[in-house]
Amino acid sequence: MSVIEATEITKVYKRGREEVHAIRGVSLSIDSSEFVAIVGPSGAGKTALMNIIGCLDTPTNGTLTIDGIRVTGRTERELVRMRRGTIGFVFQQFFLIPTLTARENIGLPLIFNRRKADDWKIDDILDQVGLSDRASHYPHELSGGEMQRVAIGRALVTRPKILLADEPTGNLDTGNSDLIFHLLQGLNREGLTILMVTHNPGLARRAGRVVSLKDGLIEHDMPPPGCPI
């Protein structure tokens, strides 16, 4: 069953008198529990597409349906509700609050959603991302890989159906990149739909499907073994 359905999505930005066509009529269908890597050179439209799918931006034209709900044409309040209830986000930068512990950073979305930050729920997430013994540590006391795992835990605490990861290993060394990817693979095996933007061809090939963008268009969409990256 399709959980993301994008049809003829375009995105045009104004830069002075110039029009920048970031996305040029992209159609993409992603089923529940898929792990999809989006690759392509800089300027290909990867982040623009991710932002639209994540309801952080709106398309110039085209339609987008998330979890059976058409989101194009919705108000900002409705888009916020969709982001908070259905989609989790992980970015290249960790965006952790330096004055909060790992536990407190993970619980932040529950506060924003006006939901009780139950200790058992956060304990479960800490265990899931392998940080139970680091719960009381502040970001400056954590390694890069540990900070990214806190960021993933924060994305998971609202129990989203979709996880959008934009260069989640971009600031990490090879060892930590592998650890983060293994964590994402485990979450995917548990049923989480994952859409990941990456410049790392080795990681992309280990996803279940690779979508390659070039000049705002889908160049290839196929399983990794036959996909040139």
Structural domain range at position 98: 33-53+77-226
Residue 134, in any domain of the structure: yes
11 is a domain residue: no
**Residue 86 belongs to some domain of the structure:** yes
Torsion of CA 34, 212, 228, 190, to 10 degrees: -10
Q: What is the pLDDT of residues 37-49, one digit of tens each?
A: 999 999 999 999 9
Question: How would residue 115 be classed by pLDDT, with cut points 50, 70 and 90?
Answer: low
Query: Would 67 be classed as within a structural domain?
Result: no
Contact status, residue 62 vs residue 8, Cβ threshold 8 Å: yes
Summary count for the chain: helices (H), strands (E): 7, 10
pLDDT in tens, 65-96: 999 999 999 999 999 888 888 999 999 899 99
* Res. 228: pLDDT tops 50: no
Following DSSP, what letter does each residue of 119-143 receive, concatenated? HHHHHHHHHHTT-GGGTT--GGGS-
CATH code of residue 103: 3.40.50.300
Encode pLDDT of 184-207 as tens digits: 999 999 999 999 999 888 889 899
Helix or strand or coil: residue 16? coil
Strand 193-197 relative to strand 209-214, pairing: unpaired
Per cent of the chain over pLDDT 90 is 74
Q: What is the mean pLDDT of the chain?
A: 91
Question: Do the domain assignments include residue 69?
Answer: no
Within-domain flag for 70: no
Confidence of residue 116 (pLDDT cuts 50, 70, 90): low
SS3 187: helix
Is the pLDDT reported for residue 114 higher than 90?
A: no
**pLDDT band with cut points at 50, 70 and 90 for residue 227:** very low
Q: What would the two tokens of residue 97 be?
A: 């609050």
- Split into its structural domains, the chain has a count of 1
Q: Which parts of the chain are beta strand (E)?
A: 2-15, 18-31, 35-39, 61-66, 69-70, 87-91, 162-166, 193-197, 209-214, 217-222
pLDDT digits (tens, 9 = 90+) for 151-161: 999 999 989 99
Is 71 a member of any domain?
A: no
pTM for the whole thing?
0.91
Residue 75 tokens, joined:
């108000």
- 118 domain-assigned: yes
Round to whole Å and give the CA distance between 124 and 177. 23
